[in-house]
Chains A and B, each alone.
Chain A
Amino acid sequence: MDTMTDRELEAVGGALAPLQPVEPGYRHVLRVRLLVAWLPLVIGAVVLDNAVLADTPVYGLVSGGLVLVALAVVILAPDRIYRRLRYGLTERLLQVVRGWLFHIDTIVPFVRVQHLDVTRGPLDKMFGTATLVVHTAGTRNSIVTVPGLAPERAAEIRDIIREHIRTDYA
Chain B
Amino acid sequence: MTAEDRVVGKPERLHPLFLLTGLGGSLRGMAGGYAFIGYLAVSGRAGTALLAAIALLAVLVFSMFLYWTRFEFRVGDNEIRIDSGIISRTHRSIPFDRIQDVDISQGPIARPLGIAKVKFETGGSAGAGQDEGVLHAIPLERAQALRALIRAHRSTGIAAVAASDEAEQPPVFAMDLPRVLLAGVFNFSLVLLAGLVGATQTFGDVLGFDPLSRAFWLSLVSAGDPIADYILAHRVAAAFAGAALLVLIGLATGIVRTLLREYGFRLDRTEVGPRRRRGLLTRTDVTLPARRAQAAIVGTGPLRDGLGWRDLKLQSLASDEGGKGDHVLAPLTRDEEVNAILAALGWRPLSATIAWLRVSSAYLWTLAAVLSPLLLIAALAALSAPNFALGAAVILGLLLIRWRGWKRTLYALDGDRLLFRTGWWRRRTVILPLARIQSIDLTENFVSRWFGTASLAFGVAGGSGFSAHVIPALPRQIARALRKQLLVLDP
Residues of A within 8 A of B (CB): 1, 3-4, 9, 12-16, 92-93, 100-109, 112, 136-142, 144, 169-170
Contacts and interface: CB of A to CB of B under 8 A. Distances in A.
B446 interface: yes
A139 B459 contact: yes
A112 B438 contact: yes
A150 B352 CA distance: 52
A14 B488 contact: yes
B484 A136 contact: no
Q: Which of A15, A92, A108, A141 has the most CB of B within 10 A?
A: A141
Contacts of B458: 138, 140
Interface of B: 100, 123, 292, 317, 357, 413, 437-446, 449, 454, 457-465, 468-469, 478, 481-485, 487-488, 490
Nearest to B469: A140
B460 A101 contact: no
Contacts of A106: 439-442
A75 B180 CA distance: 63
Contacts, number: 106
The 3 closest A-B pairs by CB, nearest first: A138-B459, A14-B488, A138-B438
Nearest to B491: A111
A14 B487 contact: yes
A144 B461 CA distance: 14
B439 A112 contact: yes
Chain A contact residues: helix, strand, loop or mixed: loop
B438 to A, nearest CB: 4
Given A14-B484, A138-B459, A141-B457, A103 B439 contact: no
A109 B487 contact: yes
Contact of A103 (B437, B444, B457, B464): B444
A108 B478 contact: no
A113 B108 CA distance: 44
A139 to B, nearest CB: 6
A170 B123 contact: yes
A107 B487 contact: yes
B488 A144 contact: no
Given A104-B443, A107-B487, A3 B459 contact: no
Contacts of B100: 170
Contact of B445 (A103, A139, A169): A103
A104 B485 contact: no
B110 to A, nearest CB: 32
A107 B439 contact: yes
Contact of A141 (B292, B441, B446, B449): B441
B433 to A, nearest CB: 12
Nearest to A5: B481
Contacts of A138: 438-439, 458-461
